[in-house]
Structure 1
Amino acid sequence: MKYKNYLLPLLCMGAFCFGQDKISMKNGDQVDAKVMEVNPSVIIYKESDNPEGPLHSISKSDIYRITYSSGKIDVLGKYSSAEEAKKLSSVPSTNSSPPEYQLGKASG
């Protein structure tokens, strides 16, 4: 019976591991982070592997898109070259829901 008292908190902790945002750069790099603030010219974030660490900032002009943990995607810029577009498009999708449930992909 006591193991049930430990099982539920462990399962709930696993949900927090996936609550992160992904910042995709124009050069093809990807940063797992928690976006704290979006300003007109910079994005302020914390790295996901160090959530208690310092705030980092990056210019919006260096970012292609931000994929939030909720699934929302903000596209901030265009690729600066075909090679960079190819790098970023090779990043696998993390959307595991069936196509009929994905926004914009309804069939019928």
Structure 2
Amino acid sequence: MKKYLLLLLYCLLAQMATAQDVIVKINGDELKARIQEITTSDILYLSADTTDTLNYKLAKAEVFMIRFANGTKEVFTENLPPETTAKATIADPTYMYEKGRQDARSYYNGTGALLGSAATVFLAGPVGPIIIGAVKPKAHNNHALPYTSLQDPNYVRGYEKQAHNRKIGKAALGTGLGIGVGVLYVLLSVMGGGQ
């Protein structure tokens, strides 16, 4: 029994060890990397796709944001357009609503809901995942979204609707994983206790 739990712990630690940072450029391109240093003008990183130890350099002016492997983000606000130029006319409401939904599919991953639901159902039962799934994600909390789009209420409504649907799905998946781990734990306990 202990060796199975150690194996599970080892797999989780291996997954965390391979976690990557993501550099989001102003043009929308994303680079998977391991950030080494952020200077006043450049970002030094290792390529996450290779095993070489060659440092790459990217001008900080080309970068919108870095999503670190631990879940934190650093947005380079100096690279954003000034507020006076960022205020654009509100576009077609249907288009902005669909654009918000599309961006939620791209920028909202729901990993926290998945892991939180798995842990709470395993430890405390189904109440935790229900609460996690009920809390709606807010568009303004996601710094990867374009500032001008966040000014449009149709975009925000579309983003939050799709992100909430995705969060509910991730919470349901996490609930299933938590129940599966609980059943596996009980079965291993029963099998290990009978020997």
One-letter amino acid of the structure 1 residue matched with residue 80 of structure 2: K
Secondary structure in structure 2 of the residue aligned to 1:50:
coil
Secondary structure at 1:97 match in 2: helix
Counterpart in the other structure of 2:28:
28
Indicate whether 1:13 and 2:28 are aligned. Answer: no
The 1:11–1:69 alpha-carbon spacing in structure 2 relative to 1, beyond 3 Å, is: closer
Partner residue, 2:37: 37
Fraction of identical pairs, as percent = 23
5+ residue gaps, structure 1, are: none
Following superposition, the deviation at residue 34 of structure 1 comes to 0.7
Q: TM-score when scaled to structure 1?
A: 0.67
- The 2-side partners of 1:47 and 1:26 are apart by 19
Letter in 1 for 2:112: S
Could you tell me which amino acid in structure 2 is paired with residue 65 of structure 1?
Answer: M
When residues 95 and 60 of structure 1 are mapped into structure 2, their CA distance, relative to the original with a 3 A threshold, is: farther
Larger radius of gyration: 2
Deviations 1:34-83 (A, max 9, x none): 1000000000001112243311000011000011112221111226x99x
Separation of aligned partners in 2, 1:65 and 1:73 = 7
Please state how far the C-alpha of 1:10 moved relative to its aligned partner. 4.2
C-alpha displacement of 1:27: 0.8
Structure 1 pair 64–73 and aligned structure 2 pair: CA distance change class (3 A): same
| Aligned counterparts, 1:85-100, within 5 A | 90=103, 91-98=106-113
Cα distance change on mapping 1:10 and 1:96 into 2, 3 Å: closer
Query: Could you state the TM-score of these two structures normalised by the residue count of structure 2?
Result: 0.40
Larger strand share, 1 or 2: 1
Unaligned runs of 5+ in 2: 89-98, 114-131, 142-195
Residues matched between the structures, number: 96
Structure 2 distance, partners of 1:11, 1:29, is 29
- Greater percentage in helix: 2
